[in-house]
Structures are given as structure tokens and as C-alpha cells.
Copies of this chain bind each other. A is one copy, B any other.
Amino acid sequence: MKVVRAEIIAIGDELLYGQIVDTNSHWISQELDLMGVKVVRKTTVGDDRKDVLAAFESAEKRADIVLITGGLGPTKDDLTKPLLAEFFGCDIIEFPEAVKAVSEYFIRRGREMTPLNILQGHLPACCTYIPNEVGTAPGMWFERNGTFWMSMPGVPHEMKKLIKDFVLPKLPEIFPLPVIHHKVIKTVGIGESWLADLISDWETALPSSIRLAYLPSLGHVKLRLTGFGSSKESLEKAIDEQIDTVMPLIEKYVYGFNSETLETAIAKLLKAEKKTIALAESCSGGYISHLITSVPGSSAYYQGGIIPYHNQFKNKILGVSNETLSKFGAVSEETVREMATGVRKLFNSDFGLASSGIAGPDGGSEEKPVGTVWIACAMNGRVETKKLQLTQDRMLNIQLTGVAVLNMLRICISQK
């Protein structure tokens, strides 16, 4: 099967001068990759006639499909539409359906339409008009010499809707694409190379129709299985069988599949078990509570938290004994154990979690260097504790403490 080659062209001065980050191209790449279309080039050019036309010309020579974002605003700076008309050799004419859509968009929002906006319904005669339901600049579809073209606004949610509603369903109609099925296994608490060691026999034995990718991020590694074939059902079955085979080797590191996050996985576990949590965050300074409370509905299991940044409050609010604090210090197994027990009692929760450490850049010592962190999880009858030796970077230490505490909680709930 011939590889379908795509190119992405992003148009706009603001992308070249570093005023905004082009997140569109990255998102489009991911979506096309999931469909089995190969992106071979991304080009960013400014609002300049010669540069834009040069990008169009060279893309046409190489690509099966070209996706263009940006340069479709109503003002004179925005050149994409006239340059597409010039490139394809046709006039810009009124598309009554497009004018109607733009004016309805303004009526719906109770806003005044300017003459410039009406012109947004005027398009190159040689394009197919693709309605944009969430904005005023229409999508435009072109075909010439076997290459397909889609022009879209640069506003991310408008572009995404046009890609999802129109381009992705169109691809299998115009190209002979393989049927593709992906499933992502989410792991935490194990590094990429250790994970690779654990599953190397399984990986070697994978059939050639299933590919494996390791996608590491802070404290996490995702395993993406991609199957290529001709039937969606048989691919799903084949991938699920492979997952069944590998799971016993990695089960304790797996918190979910596909779009699951560690926070939503914990939400599910806590809701299923009808359990609640509370947090005492010293070095993590509220970050873990923020992660947990970012999940809609977290009030069902999150009772509350304490950020006792100074020793006196570890004692006064959480009941950590002054003897423990003076004998072992704030960053110690003993202190973090009493913090976890104390916060569990204060909030009357099933689990009490605690962190205490030296985030840096200051405050380190020979015995307890920057990056030394103790974490704990108190539950009915016992307290788990763990020492982490992290990095020199304050923000990284806060984030890695977050991953470690959430993972400890996940394991503690699962063991109940």
C-alpha cells in the first residue's frame, strides 16, 4: 500500500516572531499519524505573497494532501485566500451559502457584522466551501493534479473541528488507507529502560502487524500499540490479546489505558471503593491538591488539605509532636508519618497523604541534600512511607513528588 504523504503549512507573521506557539501543527500531526497518513514536512511562513506562494508550489510537488492553517482573518494582512485563488488560477466570488452562514453566526451571538465580515463569505470559485460552525472564516477544499488541499483558520478550536468533522472522515474516501487501531497502556513508577527490559521477550514476539512505541513523560511511560490491517474488529481483538499477554508482567505499574490520567484513575478507584482522602503537603505546596481538584467531581472523595509550610503548624494543626520535629527534623520518615496520620484524623478521611522535603534551590545539607523528599500514606491500621532522592530543580522536584504521592495512593487503594 502506497504511503500517503501530507504536508502542513502554517501561515502568519506572529508564528515566525515567536509571539505565539504553533500548537496546531503538532495536533494535526498526531491526528494524521493515528490515521496512517505520514506527515513529511511542516512549513511556517509569514504573511508574505512570495513566501506563501513558494510554499504552495513546493508542497504540490511532494504531497498527496496539504493542510493549511491561518491567514484567513477579515483584514488586509491575511493573504491566504487571495493567494489560494492566485495559485489555483480562479477568481474570488460570492458563495451565498457562506455569506448566509457568516451572518447567521453574528446573529446567534447578537453581534454587529461589518462589511469586512461579509467578505468572509467570498471564496475562490475553484474551491469547495466547507462550513465552519464555530467561527467566521470558512474552510476551503481544493483538488488539482492528484493533490488535495484544505485551508482552515488558525484558531485552534475552529481548525480542530474542521479536521475532525471533515478532513479525517474524508481521508479514507480519497486514499487507500490501512485500517489502524491504537491502544495506549499508561504506566507510572518505572523508567523506560527498565520497562523495556521487563517486556523485551513479549516485544520481540509481537507480530509485524502490531508496532510498539515508548512515549515517556515526567514520571510516566506510555506504551502505544498500533495495529495495521483490514478489519477493525480483528485488530482490536489482536491488540487486546497482546495486552492480556503483557499485563501480568507490568500490572503493578499500569494505572489505565488511552486518555486516562493518574488523577482520573485515582478518582475511579476512590469512587468505586467509596473512600475519601486528605493531604498534608509541605514541599509540594498545594500542587497535589491542585491536580486532584482539577478533576470534575473530586469533591466526592477529596476532603481537604493542609499546607503546613512551617514546623509550628505541623505541630499546631496536624499534631506532629515537637519532639519528633526536633529529633528527626521536618524532612524525615517520622515527621511525614505523623503528618499523614494527623491529616487523616483532622479530615476524618480513609487515606491521609503527606509530603515533606527540600525542594531547593536552598535549604539542602550534606545529610539531606536538595531533592530529598519523604512521602507517606496513612490508612486504617498502617502507614506506608517512602524516601525519594530527586533533582536540583525546584519545579521538577514538586512535580515528581506529585507523581510519587499519587502513585503511592493508587497502590494503597488497590491493596485494600
Binding site for B on A (CB under 8 A): 15-19, 21-23, 25-33, 38-46, 48, 51, 54-55, 58, 213, 215, 279, 281, 285-290, 292-294, 296-299, 302-310, 313, 317, 346-347, 359-362, 394-395, 398
Contacts and interface: CB of A to CB of B under 8 A. Distances in A.
Contacts of A286: 281, 286-290, 293, 305, 307
Contacts of A360: 296
B39 A16 contact: yes
Contacts of A45: 40-41
B304 A313 contact: yes
B285 A290 contact: yes
A313 B347 contact: yes
Copies of this chain in its oligomeric complex:
2
22 contacts: A16-B39, A17-B30, A17-B39, A18-B26, A21-B23, A40-B51, A41-B44, A41-B46, A41-B51, A54-B58, A58-B58, A285-B294, A286-B289, A286-B293, A286-B305, A290-B290, A293-B398, A296-B360, A304-B309, A304-B313, A313-B347, A317-B346
A358 to B, nearest CB: 11
Contact of A303 (B44, B48, B55, B313): B313
Nearest to A10: B42
Contacts of A317: 304, 317, 346
A236 to B, nearest CB: 22
A320 B210 CA distance: 59
A18 B29 contact: yes
A405 to B, nearest CB: 13
A263 to B, nearest CB: 12
Given A45-B41, A285-B292, A303 B299 contact: no
B309 A306 contact: no
A15 B16 CA distance: 18
A58 to B, nearest CB: 7
A43 B43 contact: yes
A233 B44 CA distance: 35
A244 to B, nearest CB: 26
A21 B17 contact: no
